Structure 1
Amino acid sequence: MAENIGSEYRSDCFEFQMDGITVTTLKKVDGLAIEVETATVITTDGKGKNVTQTFAGAQKPPIVTLTRGMAKPDALTEWLKKSTTGPADKEKKNVSITYKTADGKDKLQWDLKGAWVSSYRPGSLDVSSGQPLDETFTIACDEATIK
């Protein structure tokens, strides 16, 4: 195992919560990001020289992918069903993904506001593999913040 230099976080220590309740243990989370749109404006100054300026725009909400071992139906599964069979706007929830230290203490939390399940993909079925089946949920949101 590689030495953990410069970081008190581990990639395997995190928790997923929906409306403040821990709903599942996940294998993998991808896509957490904070990105701000940029606009570039080129003008000409009084001497005829081009001047380039870059301005910050709106935040682009992340598209987050959650992967877990396929499980019995739970709150996440029910949220998937409701998000994909009716108006997704009615099923928006606040979710959080919390990074934990190696000793299990909460350290950094991503809050996804107005989140909903935009897609679901079960793992591939393969009789020759004998491997456990995973499932992947894609979560879209209105806003992301880090605490």
Structure 2
Amino acid sequence: MFAIELGQMRLETLQSVSGLADGHTQSGQITITRGMDKSNELTEWIKESRVNHNNGGARNVSICRLDAANTVAQRFNLRNAWASSWSASDEAIETVQIDFDEMVIE
């Protein structure tokens, strides 16, 4: 299970994440799949960063791998991240591609 954080605030759990690297990455992209527990703050960041990623919309984002107790087992910190694409297969499922300048793994 994965969760996404903006700053130090956990916003929601994710149905899936693809594109995470095993080591430090200078730049790249990941894809997240959002389920039913969508947060308004993440939705607003997705909208804002798609339009204004060069003008303050990009932020530091963390993807957290959670263990069975729902605590962080591993954190993937994405520096200067923005949502580059968004799609929805239905009202419940959304797919978001997030581009970033650097990935640091804790």
TM class by smaller structure = 0.7 to 0.9
Gaps of 5+ in 1: 1-12, 37-58, 126-131
Q: What does 1:80-95 correspond to in 2, within 5 Å?
A: 80-85=46-51, 87-89=52-54, 90-95=56-61
Does the residue aligned with 2:28 lie in a helix, a strand or coil?
Answer: coil
Q: Root-mean-square deviation (CA), in Å?
A: 2.2
**Whole-angstrom CA distance in 2 between matches of 1:145 and 1:111:** 5
Report the CA distance shift for 1:107/1:136 in structure 2 as closer, same or farther (over 3 A): same
**Whole-angstrom CA distance in 1 between matches of 2:86 and 2:10:** 20
- Match for 1:116 among 58, 72, 82? 82
Q: Give the drift of 1:35.
A: 6.6
Alignment TM-score, normalising by the size of structure 1: 0.62
More helix by share: 2
- The answer on whether the counterparts of 1:34 and 1:61 sit within 8 Å (CA) in structure 2 is no
Does the residue aligned with 2:70 lie in a helix, a strand or coil?
Answer: coil
**Whole-angstrom CA distance in 1 between matches of 2:58 and 2:77:** 13
Alignment TM-score, normalising by the size of structure 2: 0.83
Q: Give the drift of 1:60.
A: 3.9
Does the residue aligned with 1:133 lie in a helix, a strand or coil?
Answer: coil
Report the CA distance shift for 1:69/1:14 in structure 2 as closer, same or farther (over 3 A): closer
Does the residue aligned with 1:65 lie in a helix, a strand or coil?
Answer: strand
**Whole-angstrom CA distance in 2 between matches of 1:33 and 1:135:** 22
Q: Give the drift of 1:100.
A: 2.3
Cα deviation, 1:70-129, whole Å, max 9, x if unaligned, reads 5666111111211223x3121111111122222333221110010011010111x5xxxx
Gaps of 5+ in 2: none
Does the residue aligned with 1:144 lie in a helix, a strand or coil?
Answer: strand
Match of 1:18 in 2: 6
Does the residue aligned with 1:102 lie in a helix, a strand or coil?
Answer: coil
